[in-house]
Amino acid sequence: MMTKNPPRKLTILVVGDGAVGKSALTLRFLRDQYDPTIEDSYCKHIEVDGQDYTLELTDTAGQSEYRDQWDDHFMRTGDGFICVYSIASMSSFQELVGFRDQIWRAKGSRRVPIVITGNKCDLEDGGERQVHTDVGALFAERSNALFVETSAKTGVNIHEMFTELVREIERARVRAGYNYSNINSKHNHTSS
């Protein structure tokens, strides 16, 4: 009988300007419900490509007055990042440059698992779009990041976004020579 590998723990930080829907997006993924309640740290178990994962999600405060409190050490704890803007707010999109640069600086690399996320795509029909899809996609491409548009309100592309980020984290770990067998062997041995 084949034993299943233990769940892999990944830390994902959700960053972006205030009022772009970070908390609502995170809660939609966790509970499949839309609730803009502000919380900050969550845990979710998922399976991607036959492997179990425990995702530790941190929803950061987006307002600029709190941004100074995030130090590079905090950003270094992230295995992957979801950088969120509202498609109805050009200023929230423009703020992503600072978030991306802070991540790159903290990680010491421009090859970091990131998803650039245009949230609130449900506002498309109301004519509220300020950031066109091709602009977001181009920014993601120039940032070596994945790109998706989501709606925390309707649930569009939420699960897919997290699944693709997990896959991107795994690809980055392969590139870096990450060895799960060393970690798994530590779990399988007990001290006598």
163/161 Cα distance (integer angstroms)? 6
Rounded-to-5 percentages of helix, strand, coil across the chain: 40, 20, 35
Domain ranges in the chain? 15-175
CATH topology of domain 15-175: Rossmann fold (3.40.50)
SS3 state of residue 59: strand
β-bridge mates for residue 8, sequence order: 53
Quickly count: other Cβ atoms within 10 Å of residue 9's Cβ.
Answer: 12
Digitized pLDDT (tens) for each residue of the chain, 192 residues in all: 556 788 999 999 999 888 888 878 888 888 765 555 444 778 899 999 999 999 999 887 654 445 555 566 678 889 999 999 999 999 999 999 999 999 999 999 999 999 999 999 999 877 889 999 999 999 999 999 999 999 999 999 999 999 999 999 999 999 888 887 655 444 444 333
DSSP 91-107: HHHHTHHHHHHHHHHHH
Instruction: Determine if residue 19 is left, alpha or beta; phi over 0 gives left, psi from -120 to 50 gives alpha, anything else beta.
Output: left
Q: What are phi and psi of 185, to 5 degrees?
A: -70, -30
The predicted pLDDT at position 190 comes to 39
pTM (2 decimals)?
Answer: 0.84
Which segments within the chain are labelled E, that is strand? Answer: 8-16, 41-48, 51-59, 80-86, 114-119, 146-149
